[in-house]
Amino acid sequence: MDPDAVKSTLSNLAFGNVMAAAARNYQKEVLANEKAQGSNPVNEEVDLDELMDREVEKREAFKRQGHGEYREVSEGDFLGEVTRSEKVICHFYHKEFYRCKIMDKHLKTLAPRHVDTKFIKVDAENAPFFVTKLAIKTLPCVVLFSKGIAMDRLVGFQDLGTKDDFTTNKLENVLVKKGMLSKKKKEEDDEDAEYQESIRRSVRSSENLDSDSD
């Protein structure tokens, strides 16, 4: 037999074996991918459950630190409150000042919507040391703390259009820009808007009932 022919035949056989092996490997890879894709929905469901559990745990941990509500703290507790949380919004107020009451109303609304930030207030009359230390001259004064350090502040309503009728969303957007709040998703905004509208409808309904009874 011609040596060259033998060599060519062996070469062809080797090439054929390589191609067959490649084909088998490719087939295995395709089957593995199909199997993985087939199990994806289950894996995704488990992952989503885990993420939801982590989110719940995270919220509960924040609440144990006093997040999720707008609370008054004393001068004695103030330092511990602002150093135990990463982001803290603190309103220094005077109980007789009308504008402080307006700020109270908006911060009380925002606190449960942004659990990752702590919202507190301090009676300026009862906290002379920190009022002096933080050089607070005008009320309301909302001091913004990051990791225990006063990074910024809202003095009066200067950042809010200087008028009393600013909206909660206006204050929220200012605090988002200053890095104190996370930007909410549109779906959450829509839910909040729907909730606020339902409250307004309830108020109008009760007013109409009152007028009818008169």
Q: What is the pLDDT of residues 6-26, one digit of tens each?
A: 444 444 444 444 444 544 555
The CATH number covering residue 152 comes to: 3.40.30.10
CB atoms within 10 A of CB 193: 11
Mean pLDDT across 175-202 = 68
Q: Residue 36 domain-assigned?
A: no
Instruction: List beta partners, residue 142.
Output: 91, 154
pLDDT at 54: 75
> Who has greater pLDDT, 12 or 92?
92
Q: Residue 59 domain-assigned?
A: yes
Distance, CA of 154 to CA of 171 (rounded, Å): 10
Distance, CA of 24 to CA of 20 (rounded, Å): 6
Cis amide prior to 3 (ω within 30 degrees): no
Which residue range(s) make up the domain with 119?
51-178
Q: Residue 33 domain-assigned?
A: no
E strands, the chain, in order? 70-72, 87-93, 118-123, 141-146, 149-155
Nearest to 122 by CA among 113, 112, 114, 132: 132
Q: By mean pLDDT, which of 5-14, 133-142, 181-190 is the weakest?
A: 5-14
> Who has greater pLDDT, 138 or 3?
138
Task: Kindly report, residue by residue over 45-81, the tens digit of the pLDDT.
Answer: 557 777 666 767 766 767 767 799 999 999 999 999 9
Mean pLDDT across 128-137 = 97
Q: Residue 82 domain-assigned?
A: yes
Q: By mean pLDDT, which of 48-62, 114-128, 199-213 is the weakest?
A: 199-213
Q: Residue 83 domain-assigned?
A: yes
pLDDT at 7: 46
Model confidence, pTM: 0.63
Q: Residue 202 domain-assigned?
A: no
Q: Residue 124 domain-assigned?
A: yes
Q: Residue 187 domain-assigned?
A: no
Query: Nearest 5 degrees, angle CA 198-CA 176-CA 196?
Result: 5
Number of domains in the chain: 1
Query: Nearest 5 degrees, angle CA 103-CA 109-CA 110?
Result: 90
